[in-house]
Amino acid sequence: MLSRLHAPAALARLPRESRDTLFLLVVIAWIVLPQVDHLPAWCSALVACVLAWRGWLAWHARPLPSRWWLLGLLATTLALTFLSHRTLLGRDAGVTLLVVLLALKTLELRARRDAFVVFFLGFFTMLTSFFFSQSLLTAFAMLLALLGLLTALVNAHMPVGRPPLAASARQAGWMALAGAPIMLLLFLLFPRLAPLWGIPSDAMSGRSGLSSSMVVGNMASLALDDGIAMRIRFEGQAPPQRDLYFRGPVLSEFDGREWRPARGDLGFGTAPHRSLRVSGAPVAYEVTLEPHNRPWLMTLDAAPRRPEMANMNSLQTGELQWLATRPVTDLLRYRAESYVDFRYGPLRRTNELLADLQLPPGFNPRTLALAAEMRRDPRYAEADAAVLVGAALERLRSGGYLYTLEPGVYGQHTADEFWFDRKQGFCEHIASAFVVLMRALDVPARIVTGYQGGDMNAMDGYWTVRQSDAHAWAEVWQAGQGWLRVDPTGAVSPGRIGSLQRLRAPQGMFANAIGSVSPDVAARMRAAWEAVNNRWNQWVLNYTQSRQLDLLRELGFDAPDWQDLATVLSALLVLASLSGVGWALWERRQHDPWLRLLQQARAQLGAAGVALPEHAPPRRMAQALRQSAAQPQAEAIQAWLLQMESQRYAADPAASLAALRRGFKALRWPDPKTAPAPVPSPADLSPPTP
């Protein structure tokens, strides 16, 4: 306890170099902290040990380690990085190396140039945090890191004395504020150019979401992922939540365990909307899709027309899924129009439906036997698809089947185990078993994956669709109507379809504490925070070329193009430059208080006949006064000038600036009429050459 009480006093007694080093180490630790979840465990441990070691050396004023230590640590880092990532290139390996090099460089802080290298490595490491997260919270954390690095940089440009860190922080803050208008101007008007290179192959690693295939049992992990998949803003009344089906991959091939999309031609260019039959009014909406490194454009079933988006084209498969021409690696906003009441596909049975009847041999014999038994039943012998679907759904409703996230590990015959043994499962268990039964009954059927439902945020009116809303449902073909959506999960658990309640992962100790006191308060806080994040996404992360041109339209340009953008940007940059020049000219006249006081003393000595160069320091001024004046007050003036020098440059000045002002007013300055002063030569007043 006593050591903690004496820690601030001990910190104040540290040499300036040790104090500045400790401050820089704290800033570096803050920069690295948001990336700990994305770094290998050995990397985080190594960086923590190196920073702690460097802090111990600074606190106890010990010498830095030899370069052999650094070479050994560097070689170890390269080997461990290669073992962890199987490469030294790419995003993950590059960030790992950069973070360790930043920490190791602190063991080489022998000169100011070494500190500048650390500063610039720190700035670059800050940028790498946005490789993993571009959230508002990450931006705020990096803003604090930026101010910390600027403070350390300003402090490094004050090599003499012991300037307070608070003063350096204020100056860094003013510098950041001065540069903010230029930063904002460039953000708003600098052309949004495509990257010169493609993204690294590991750029989207670690992100969860839908897959292009479905292994029975894997989708349940998404139900515990509370991450946001997309946000929707409906233009007008939103459809009922039970109708919010957002189409993803359609899976037709089944090998007994895994469902995959159909091979070969996906039907590009076949204009599937020609077979799409819709009724009712269209639903217009805007989607802000989170990056998922797939070309899938999630649209509400069914969207007959191409989604409207900037700088990207899209195609529609024969299964009504919209695909972008490149993977979605950034926030993507597009507008779409859908009909929730629709039918599509051939009205008569054709060969193209054969793929949706195939079942792998040797799997699910009891399900096949159940289908054969149903066909022998006179009620179903000649029944159409609608009757057979109704019978299967009734079996799900009345057979004691349960909807659960923990159905256990299924074996080889997944449909058999669901129908006859376990009688419980998640949506993919239910949909898979249902489609297998339909195919065994000679009804074309397939699985559609995507998202179902969502929450409406009352704070901003946006609907939030999360990864936990991931869902799998079935489509069956019926003569005379085409493909129809059937959601067998709704028969097992009606509350899953169109319900605001979902199975969620634990929200953390803080959120649980608030929720235990007041669930409503926790819900409102969550909604407010997500609304703020949505604004950040809409106006910062999703600020695209089209939004730049929209801004020019608001400024009065009828049909803005890139020439207009360049003209406005150039004009504003010239205006900002002129403003900066004007500020510099004004500030030149505004010396700091110490310099103003020294100028007043120089003016008094000049009036008394003591000729001084414009930049003579206080000690030189005292020497000139001693050579030129014999009045008793000259000694007091000389002592005052030496106190001025101490106040500016000494580590522990004896007098404050306010005391020096009072002393200046109390001094009696020499009178040139009673003691004419000889003019010293410039050689006498110029500082000695080193």
Cα 270 vs. chain centroid, distance in angstroms?
39
Q: Does the pLDDT of residue 278 top 70, yes or no?
A: yes
pLDDT at 505: 43
Q: In this structure, are residues 109 and 57 in contact, taking their beta carbons and an 8 Å threshold?
A: no
The pLDDT-based confidence of 274 (bands split at 50, 70, 90) is: low
Angstrom distance (rounded) from CA 223 to CA 226: 8
The predicted model gives 94-100 an average pLDDT of 89
pLDDT at 253: 92
Least confident of 42-51, 462-471, 601-610: 601-610
The predicted model gives 223-229 an average pLDDT of 76
471 catalytic? Reply is: yes
Cα 685 vs. chain centroid, distance in angstroms?
58
DSSP one-letter code for 305: S
pLDDT in tens, 46-68: 999 999 988 888 888 788 888 88
49 catalytic? Reply is: no
Q: Does the pLDDT of residue 299 top 90, yes or no?
A: yes
Angstrom distance (rounded) from CA 133 to CA 6: 40
* Residue among 322, 651, 671, 348 at smallest CA distance from 478: 348
Strands 341-343 and 277-279: antiparallel
Q: In this structure, are residues 467 and 209 in contact, taking their beta carbons and an 8 Å threshold?
A: yes
pTM score, whole prediction: 0.62
- Which one of 292, 413, 427, 429 is the catalytic residue? 427
Q: Which residues contact 342 (CB under 8 A, 6 or more apart)?
A: 276, 277, 278, 279, 301, 302
Q: In this structure, are residues 545 and 311 in contact, taking their beta carbons and an 8 Å threshold?
A: yes
Q: Which residue type occupies 237?
A: Q
pLDDT at 673: 55
Cα 405 vs. chain centroid, distance in angstroms?
30
Q: In 580-592, which positions are buried (b, 16+ CB within 10 angstroms) versus exposed (e)?
A: eeeeeeeeeeeee
Q: For residue 278, give the 3-state DSSP assignment.
A: strand
Report CA-CA distances (Å) from 525 to 25, 136, 278, 506, 511: 34, 16, 40, 16, 9
The pLDDT-based confidence of 503 (bands split at 50, 70, 90) is: very low
pLDDT in tens, 384-399: 899 999 999 999 998 8
487 catalytic? Reply is: yes
The structure tokens 């600074």 sit at 58
pLDDT in tens, 465-488: 988 888 999 999 999 899 999 999
pLDDT at 407: 74
Report CA-CA distances (Å) from 631 to 296, 441, 602, 678: 90, 119, 17, 14
The predicted model gives 180-209 an average pLDDT of 61
Q: In this structure, are residues 285 and 227 in contact, taking their beta carbons and an 8 Å threshold?
A: no
From edge to edge, which strands make up the β-sheet containing 455-456?
Answer: 332-338, 283-289, 228-234, 463-466, 455-456
Most confident of 13-17, 66-70, 74-78, 632-636: 74-78
Cα 363 vs. chain centroid, distance in angstroms?
45
Is the CA virtual torsion 114, 119, 124, 129 positive or negative? positive
Q: Which residue type occupies 499?
A: S
The pLDDT-based confidence of 668 (bands split at 50, 70, 90) is: confident
Q: Does the pLDDT of residue 1 top 70, yes or no?
A: no
Q: In this structure, are residues 621 and 602 in contact, taking their beta carbons and an 8 Å threshold?
A: yes
Token couple for 13: 């007694």
The predicted model gives 357-371 an average pLDDT of 92
Q: Which helix (H) or strand (E) holds 134?
A: none
pLDDT in tens, 426-448: 888 899 999 999 999 999 999 99
Q: For residue 503, give the 3-state DSSP assignment.
A: coil
The pLDDT-based confidence of 653 (bands split at 50, 70, 90) is: low
Strands 322-324 and 314-316: antiparallel
Measure the N-to-C terminal CA separation of the chain; round to a whole number of Å: 50
- Which one of 92, 301, 416, 487 is the catalytic residue? 487
pLDDT at 26: 92
